[in-house]
Amino acid sequence: MQLITALAIAPILATASFLSSGKSIKNSKRADTWGGSVSLGPTQSTIVHAVTTIIPGDAPSSQNGELFLWPGMSNGTGDLIQTTLESWSDNSWCGATTGQWCVRASVFGSFGQLDGTPSPVSGSEKVKIEYILEDDNETWTQLVTNADTGVQLSNYSLASGPYMTGYGTGTECDDSCTGTIAAQQYVDTTITLADADTTFGGTIATAVGASYTGLSSSQDGKIWTIDTINIPAM
């Protein structure tokens, strides 16, 4: 499998410079352009859990390059946890038909890209993407399920450490990709911190036409929720 998903959280980088990966991309292709994004960070605490549900809209019916949608989490120097919805010129590798995405749990790091088994996803499907810090305080488990049926679509676990400080969405267009033809929506995004951080909400940033509604916190700033994140078509 070719691996491009890349320059970590570049849209976040644009708005929150802490998340610079500084890593080279395995196949040395580079990200060309980015769609809209919403990001938060860095927190003064650390992230211990994050969950969102993406409704991706239809994938382009043909693809000139590679197009990736992902909610990403990193600390700027370590691994990028990033379940990706992917559009390639031929998406049959995951069983997708025209207009469907491939989804897989994935980690980008100094080793390159590591992926869980993929599944096809339709544009109207609600894909729940959960990042869980396990009890060892090192291992992050990604669980990807259909939010309506609970059927598992992908998963992956890797020890990436307990110091995650930023979370954000990415719409990544590589190699002159055919861009998104529909809007993306992320609903019920909830980020749980190890300790309360009342400043975290103030770090939220949007780029390239993206917007959000319903940012709120509970437990004095330990749990942060965003009702909707709206990313326009490119």
Ligand X SMILES: *[C@@H]1O[C@H](CO)[C@@H](O)[C@H](O)[C@H]1NC(C)=O
Q: Which residues pair with 167 in a beta bridge?
A: 40, 73
Taking CB under 6 A as the rule, which mask of x and - marks residues 169-208 in contact with ligand X? -------------------------x--------------
Segment near ligand X (CB under 6 A), from 5-13, 71-79, 95-103, 208-216? 71-79
Closest CA to 48 of 135, 119, 118: 135
Residue from 64, 163, 225, 232 touching ligand X (CB under 6 A): that is: 163
The reply on whether position 17 binds ligand X by CB under 6 A is no
Placement of tokens 């379940």 in the chain: 83
Q: Given the complex with ligand X, which of 6 and 144 has the nearer CB atom?
A: 144
* Cis status, amide bond into 162, omega within 30 of 0: no
Task: Tokens 């049959």: give the residue.
Answer: 92
Work out which of 15, 52, 63, 75 binds ligand X, going by CB under 6 A: 75
Give whichever of 42 and 60 is closer to ligand X, judged by the CB atom. 42
Q: Is 155 in the site for ligand X (CB under 6 A)?
A: yes
Q: Does 109 bind ligand X (CB under 6 A)?
A: no
Give the single-character DSSP code of 213.
Answer: E
User: Would you say 115 or 174 has its CB closer to ligand X?
Assistant: 115
Nearer to ligand X, 133 or 177 (CB): 133
77 binds ligand X (CB under 6 A): yes
> CA–CA separation, 134 vs 157, rounded Å?
9
Among 24, 27, 117, 124, binds ligand X (CB under 6 A): 117
Q: Which of 99, 161, 209, 232 binds ligand X (CB under 6 A)?
A: 161
- State the number of CA atoms in the 13 A half-sphere of 24 facing the CB: 3
E strand segments, the chain: 31-34, 37-40, 47-55, 66-74, 80-82, 84-87, 101-104, 106-109, 112-115, 119-121, 127-133, 139-146, 152-159, 166-174, 184-193, 205-207, 211-218, 223-231
Q: Which is nearer to ligand X, 107 or 177 (CB)?
A: 107
Binding of ligand X by 41 (CB under 6 A): no
Q: Beta strands 31-34 and 139-146: pairing type?
A: unpaired
Chain residues binding ligand X by CB under 6 A are: 46, 75-78, 117, 137, 152, 155, 161-163, 194
